[in-house]
Amino acid sequence: MKRLTVVIVALTFMLLLGAVFPAAAGNKSPFIGDWYATDVDGSTVTLAIKGEIGSGGKIFNISGSDNFTGPWCSSRGAGKMKAIGLLTAENSITAPGIWWCLPPGTGTWPADLTLYPFILVYNPSTDTITDNTFSPVTYYRSEDEQ
């Protein structure tokens, strides 16, 4: 009888875990993950979006890179970006980001750091993110994420 009670308790616990974890996974923001796009100048831009723990899915840490920055870096080389994103609508994040050139100190703007306020909009029908801040850029989920 004691053994049967342990088995029933264990099975109940496993069923409860199975019910809780899929529900939690289903609440994951569609923004979270690794994304890539081809910029208007032909360069490859990437974003890594992570949810901030304890924010209820409303705050995101965003890292980005651009493999060819064009004229805003005198080196015309790579650039990096960091941003804090805030969920401002169901499928929209507003994120002031800071871009800098690699190697540091090669920026052609008044400062080596460039403030880039952008809005990312998630499209659930295509599983893409669009940034229309200066020119339309569409981000696709990284192959590893699909």
Domain ranges of the chain: 29-145
DSSP-assigned states of every residue in 15-77: HHHHHHHHHHHHTS-TT-EEEEEE-TTS-EEEEEEEEPTTSTT-EEEEEEEES--GGGBTT--
Say if pTM beats, i.e. exceeds, 0.85. Answer: no
Which CATH fold topology does 29-145 show? Lipocalin (2.40.128)
pLDDT in tens, 3-18: 444 334 333 344 333 4
The fraction of the chain above a pLDDT of 70, given in percent, is 75
CA distance linking residue 100 with residue 95, whole number of Å: 16
The model's pLDDT over 60-112, given as tens digits with 9 standing for 90+, comes to: 999 999 998 877 777 777 889 999 999 999 999 999 988 888 877 677 665 66
